[in-house]
Structure formats: structure tokens, C-alpha cells
Amino acid sequence: MGGNSLLNILIQTVKSKMTGFVTKFRMYTSWSFIKTRVVVKIREFFSNLLGFKPRDNEDYYSVGRWMISKRLVYAAVLIVGVVSIWYISTETSLFKNFDEDGIKTYDYNSIRLRVAKGRVRIKGKSGYKAYDGNVEDGYATGEGTLYNPAGNVVYTGNFLQNKYEGEGTLNFNDGSIQYRGGFHDNKFEGSGVLYRENGTKEYEGAFSQGMKNGQGILYDAGENELYEGSFSSDNIVYSEMLGKSAEEVAGCYKGARDLYMTDEESVVYMSGISAIYHGIRDVESLDDEEKVSEVYVLSDHFDFSNEAIGNISDIRDVLGNPVYEGYSKIILPEAIAIDILNSRSEAFKGVQNLDTTEVFSDVSNVESYDSDYEVYIYTFQRGEVFYSFVCPDQTGDFKFYYISQDNESAA
């Protein structure tokens, strides 16, 4: 018992003597202590160096008529040296980061990236691979692939100074294709193909400023050809149908249609593009075939340039003052348009439904309609084309519009 007690006392005495030494050793060898001491010493060094006051001419360098403190020169040289060492250690090829396949990899804000050239990889802010491709003077230029943080491809193709330029493919966020074709300044330009999010083709043809512009083909949800013709600012140029025969329109519009007939006229509803055309017989034509006299667009907004205009006040700003304004009794194509819109929601109150007799599933004879029902119409002229906006009343809240042509000018 006595021996064990003496041994324990000896151990406790040694431990108490060593505790202070171990504590100091751990403190002096810790990185935070070393870093603090180094920073303090550097601060004292530069403070002494820059705080030194020259006492005689030996403490200066003469540069022409100027006297420059030697200590200031030493400090400048030292700072340049430190910065150079830092740059060499982090930015030169000797210390560059490489992927396993040997491709240079940079952070998105790396100084070194500003002078990089050739194929590189760039990491995004959170460390994900954001870009893989060519760079020049710090910009994505040439072929490359852009990724989102989820790892899906956003764009692959040609770049010019970080912008999509030339041929490329743009994807939705989930990586499915959105567009393939030409680009300029990050926008669709030239010829290309536009897809829906479910992967079906929506449009193929000409683009300008990121929108459908020029000749193209529109496809339905089943990727069947729906309409072929001219487009402007993402919209069908409906006026292109004016003066065409029913056969010619059938060559443009290939979707589902409903034909309404009377003894004197016919009206065709093109449900795939939400439009109606009114045909009248051309008495001067040798074959007496019907020609499209008006095209009715079943939309409560008018697309002009890049704007979707929804009231008469704003339409005046772009088309000027109306050439006609007032109440008018409806005609057959207006009655059909109102009947279609009222089947969706009550756009026009108090109007009677069409009385029709079905001949085939998509052909009906019109027996009667409420020809005494009045609507308020604003008609504007732009060149040889008239735009008439049909409203339930005088408030200027139009529900659809139709396009017709100045027949005298057209002749």
C-alpha cells in the first residue's frame, strides 16, 4: 500500500510539472498562434519600415529633381516580391489545378482565367462544373458546354465572349432540349427547331431576335404539321390568308376544321390556330371558287411588334385613329365567333346560339342566327389591311378581331 501511494504521488508530481510545459508547447505550435505572431511581425516590420523618417541625403535616392526615400523603395520592392511569389504559387502552370484528364480547371472568379486560352473547365460559385470548353481572354469563345448546378447541360455549341453565337443547342433546366439552331447575342437567330418541354417539336423555321420570324412550320402537340406560312414576332401572319382560295388555305393549315355553310357563303373554324376565315364566291373567277375575304382571330389581345395589346386605347397608339367606330349588327362569321367564345365563357351576353344542322361531323348547315344582335366595332387601317376589333359594348374591351383587305387597292 505504501509503495503504491509513493508511486502515485510521484506520478502526480511529474504530471503537474509537465502540464505547464505541454500547454505552452501546444499553444506555441498551434497554427492560429503562429499565424498571429507572423502577422504581428509583418505589421511591425512594415510599420517600422514605412514609419522611418529620413535624416540626411544618404537616406534618399535621387531621381532627377526628385528625392525618394530608400525605405519607401525597399518597401515597394518587398511588396512587389510578395505579390509575385503569391501569384507564382497560385497562378502559374507549376501550381495549376488539373482534372484527372489533364484539363486546366479554374474558379469562376480566378484572376488566372482572365488570361487563359484554349480548352478549360470553370467551376461555379458553389464548386460545380459550370463550363467546359474554349476560352479566350477570359471569355467563353468557341465551342463549349454550359451546365447548371444540378449537373444538367444548359447549352452546348458556339460562344462569343460569354454569349451564345452561331450554331448551338439550348436545353430546359432538366436537360431536355428546348431549341436547336442558330444564335446571335444569346437569342435565336436564323433557322432552327423549337421544342416543347415534353420533347415534341413545336416549330421549325426562321427566327429573328429570339422569336419566330419568317417562313416556318407550326406543329401540334402530337408533332403533326399544323400550319405552314409566315410568322412575325412569334405569331402567325393571318393576313397572308386573305385572297387565297379554300384549297390554298388547306395547303397552309392542316389541322382540324369545322365548316359552316349557307346557300351564299361559308365559314371555316381552324381550331388548331384559333382562327376563322370567311369565304365568298369570286364572281369574276372562271371557276367561281371561293376566296378568303376576312380572317377572324379569336383572341382578346392584338400582337403588334413585341407587344400584346389588350384594349382599344393602346391600339390607337400603334394604329392611329379608327376609320370607323360604332354599333353594328352581326354577320355570319361574327355569330360563329361569338358562339365559339361563349361556349368557353360568356363573352357576349344576350346573344342567341346558332341554329345548325349537322351534315357531317365537321360540316354543318346554318339555319339561322341572331342577326339583330349588335356589337361595337372599332376599325383601323394599316396600308391595304383593315383591323376590326369586336367589343360587347363601347368600353373598348374587345373579345376578338378580324382582318380584311382593301379590295379596291388589292385589285
Q: Which fold has domain 97-231?
A: 2.20.110
Query: Which pLDDT tens digits describe the chain residue by residue (411 residues)?
Result: 555 666 666 666 666 666 666 666 666 677 777 777 776 776 666 566 555 555 666 666 666 666 666 666 666 777 777 666 656 555 554 445 665 577 899 999 888 888 899 999 999 999 999 999 999 988 999 999 999 999 999 999 999 999 999 999 999 999 999 999 999 999 999 999 999 999 999 999 999 999 999 999 999 999 999 999 999 999 999 999 999 999 999 999 999 999 999 988 899 999 999 999 998 766 555 455 789 999 999 999 999 888 899 999 999 999 999 999 999 999 999 999 999 999 999 899 998 888 999 999 999 999 999 999 999 999 999 999 999 999 999 998 999 999 998 754 443
**What are the domain boundaries of the chain?**
45-95, 97-231, 256-410
Q: What is the pTM of this model?
A: 0.74
Axis crossing angle, helix 70-91 with helix 31-51, rounded to the nearest 10: 150
Written as nine digits, the cell of 339 is 358562339
Alpha-carbon gap, residue 292 to 270, rounded angstroms: 13
Name the residue with cell 339583330: 372
Written as nine digits, the cell of 94 is 507549376
Element counts in the chain: helices (H) and strands (E):
7, 26
| Beta-bridge mates of residue 297 | 275, 401
